[in-house]
Amino acid sequence: GLDQGMSGRLPFGLDIQSRDTASTQVTFTTMDLADPFHPIMDNVNTNAFQGFDATSGVAQAVLNTKSVSSSNVPGACNGFMENGGYFQRLIRSTEDIQDTVLGVCSYFSGGLIVSTIDLATHSERANSTTFPLLGNVLKHKVTPYPDGFGTLGNGLDLTINGDVPELDPSTGAYALRYMKSDATLNFGFTTSTTSSLHADWIIDGPTNWDGSSLANGVTGHSTENSPSMTFCKADLASQTGCAQGEQWVITLMLHTDDGHARTIDITVETNDIYADEFRPEADAVIDIRTDYEDNVQFIGTKTVANADWDVHRIILQGEGDEAELVIHFDASGSQDQDALEGNGIESYEWKVLFDAPYGDNSFDLDGHEFTQTAASDGEWSYKFKNVTVDSTGTTESQIRIELIVYDSAGKFSEKHRMYFVVVPEGFGDEPPELQWNNVALNNTRFIDDNITISGQILSGSEKGEVYVEAAFSQDDLAESSLVKYQLQLQNLWAKSENLSDGDNFELTLDMSSFYTNQSTRQSVYIKYYEGTYPNERWVTIKWIELDLPACQGLEVNPDAQAAGGEFVLDANGDCQWSGAWSYDPTTGEWTDNSQSTDGGDGTAGGIDTMMLIIGGAVLLLIVFGTLMFVRRGGDGEDDFTGMGGAFGANALDPTEQYVQQLIAQGYPEETARSFAAQYVGGGAAQPAAQPAAQPAAQPAAGYDQAIYDQYYQQFVSQGYDAATAAAYAQQYAVQYAQSQQ
């Protein structure tokens, strides 16, 4: 009579409301079997409820459970069992699920069973296999809920693939779970109770547990503790072959042997766009590039949060405030397993912490963040400048770089860490030591065509990265590779292969182009270093000075030099002697081609004393003969004139005479003729205009025959060929005749 304003006469303030009209009664179609797995419902055929009467009426009254009083049901039962209470609705009205037709309330050590169904009239006997409802009610004993048998989030949770689903904070229930097409989900549960539980899984959606289709309003059932299912409603028009946006409601009902129940559920949806089952994973490595590959060294790992993270040493390039090094990082290995294409990463968040010089604590503890979008493909670079070791290199601090990646669903990864120790250029690297075998040549006389630079690497090349270069100019050692290549073709620059400790080297350079007609000094440089351009380290340049004598060491006869002669360079750059004396490069002999008046060594003067005496006697005969011809007059004069013509015809032309003189001095004939043509002024180019040459033994007109013969024989005895001897004899015979006038 609570609905009529009278004092309650039923326990727990039960509010029984009448539904005795045809339009308000609970019928088979408006009945909801909320818990078909409770022991009271054992062997009860649901279809039997529609045969109570012609109108399929099931109950003409309901228990109103809308009361919020703790003294009334459901409050007296600590609330509905779905919310962690002990009031179980077994049958209820679909028009208002808080209108209960059959329910059980556990209360301390006992409880009660409430039914508005006329069980005595409609139930069959207790041993019935189709509808023993009354018998089941009579034999069921209501007991307290076991300890630990709580509800969602309070001693009970549903799991999917081993993980508890996320909660919807607005409802406190599980959030809608998105999944990919053809996703297979493994369901399970966790509970704090130690009591034996029976699981019933109900699926409501387009397909059943076995993948078969379900009609609207029909549910599927599984009694496995951990059922699994592949979700897909076929759709040939879909890119994935599965319809998008299809939902399944998965309900888990757990019962103890005494019928105590808990119910939790979750809704899953096929949605390849929003599906996000996994957290993204961050991964980053150093992008090792050739311009700094020798400046990055792996030195170990550091354990943080049970994970080992790489530690690298960074060796700066440059010195002082200019020292720095830009390192490139690659995080393209980061991924999201939910991604349909690509790696599924939407953004990369880099953070740098503790980047400060060793001993400086003024840095920002929060570090510096750098966010890159997916367009970066995980590429990022950072410039290191601060040295993080003390002056002795024995104590260090570390720079930490962290990476967090985010996927399209907004999930973020665990931190990926990397640690760095920054040291100055040359840290821990010993400079190469070299033994140069040519040091003893410094400030010494050198006359060879080539010089071979040799030596050995003593230490400092542990990795075999030492090189040696040699050149004649320090500037050549700094030239471009193209210029060095041209110098190498001329053997004016050379470079060794990469050398390790104990390796020997030999580099040969051509010295011949540095010899002139003057004594000079020439430097020979070597440069040795570690590494390759532009990262050369420990660059050292040494050199020696060589004394290069004139004409590659040809010894000048002092008398020849005193007579005003000197070495000159011909067109080929070869030394030739120019002066009154002549030099034979084949025999190394010097000859004074001028008249000797000092009574000295006959060989040095070209004609010995005896030859001069004979020459004087012959001269007297010539003078005497001349007087005789003068006295004879007429005919004799004609004869002399004819002789004079003969001598004039046999004399060498000026060009040929100069040619022979140059050949005698060692010039090649071709060069001699070229020089003679220039010297005479083109005379050699017109040989037809000159008198024809006669046999070499005949002097020109105006020469004394005896004197000519003496000179001729003298030059032949010294090794000159007949033509050269004739030319020289003619020249000196004329000089002798002029000296007698």
The β-bridge relationship of strands 416-423 and 307-315 is parallel
Task: Report DSSP state, residue 384.
Answer: E
Give the per-residue pLDDT at 726: 83
Residue 311, Cα to own-chain centre: how many angstroms?
Answer: 18
- The contacts of residue 114 (CB under 8 Å, 6+ apart) are 14, 63, 73, 100, 102, 103, 104, 105
Give the per-residue pLDDT at 463: 83
d(CA 703, CA 682) in angstroms, rounded, equals 26
Say how many C-beta atoms besides its own lie within 10 A of residue 68's C-beta.
7
Give the per-residue pLDDT at 341: 81
Q: pLDDT digits over 375-428, tens only?
A: 999 999 999 999 999 988 889 999 999 999 999 888 999 999 999 999 998 787
- Do 156-270 and 433-552 show the same overall fold? yes
- The contacts of residue 121 (CB under 8 Å, 6+ apart) are none
Residues forming beta bridges with residue 422, ordered by sequence position: 314
- DSSP assignment of 562-589: HTT-EEEE-TTS-EEEESSEEEETTTTE
- The contacts of residue 738 (CB under 8 Å, 6+ apart) are none
d(CA 640, CA 76) in angstroms, rounded, equals 173
Instruction: Look up the CATH number of domain 433-552.
Output: 2.60.40
- The contacts of residue 233 (CB under 8 Å, 6+ apart) are 206, 207, 242, 243, 246, 270
d(CA 92, CA 80) in angstroms, rounded, equals 13
In this structure, which CATH number among 3.40.50.2300, 3.50.50.60, 3.40.109.10, 2.60.40.2550 belongs to the domain 280-423?
2.60.40.2550
d(CA 663, CA 655) in angstroms, rounded, equals 12
Whole-angstrom distance between the N-terminal and C-terminal Cα of the chain?
180
With the CA atoms of 596, 601, 606 and 612 taken in that order, what torsion angle do they form, in degrees rounded to the nearest 10?
60
Give the per-residue pLDDT at 333: 96
> What is the residue type of 212?
S
Give the per-residue pLDDT at 132: 96
Q: pLDDT digits over 161-214, tens only?
A: 999 999 999 999 999 999 999 999 999 999 999 999 999 999 999 999 999 999
Give the per-residue pLDDT at 635: 44
Give the per-residue pLDDT at 711: 80
- The contacts of residue 613 (CB under 8 Å, 6+ apart) are none
Closest CA to 374 of 409, 346, 397: 346
Across the chain, which has 741 residues, the per-10-residue mean pLDDT values are 59 92 94 96 94 90 94 94 96 96 96 95 92 96 96 95 94 94 96 96 97 94 97 92 96 97 97 85 96 94 94 93 96 90 93 95 91 96 96 91 93 96 85 93 95 95 92 96 95 97 96 91 96 88 94 85 85 84 85 62 42 46 42 40 36 64 67 65 41 43 74 79 81 74 64
Question: Domain extents for the chain?
Answer: 11-139, 156-270, 280-423, 433-552, 554-592, 705-739
pTM, two decimal places:
0.48
Give the per-residue pLDDT at 667: 66
* Residues 90-124: b if buried by 16+ CB within 10 A, e if exposed: bbbbeeeeebbbbbbbbbeeebbbbbbbeeeebbb
What are the structure tokens assigned to 375, written together? 């367009």
Q: Does residue 387 come out as left (phi exceeding 0), alpha (psi in the -120 to 50 range) or beta? A: beta
Note whether 24 and 124 are within 8 A (CB). no
Note whether 251 and 210 are within 8 A (CB). no
Q: 258: helix, coil or strand? A: coil
In this structure, which CATH number among 3.40.50.10490, 3.40.50.970, 2.40.50.140, 2.60.40.10 belongs to the domain 156-270?
2.60.40.10
d(CA 110, CA 125) in angstroms, rounded, equals 26
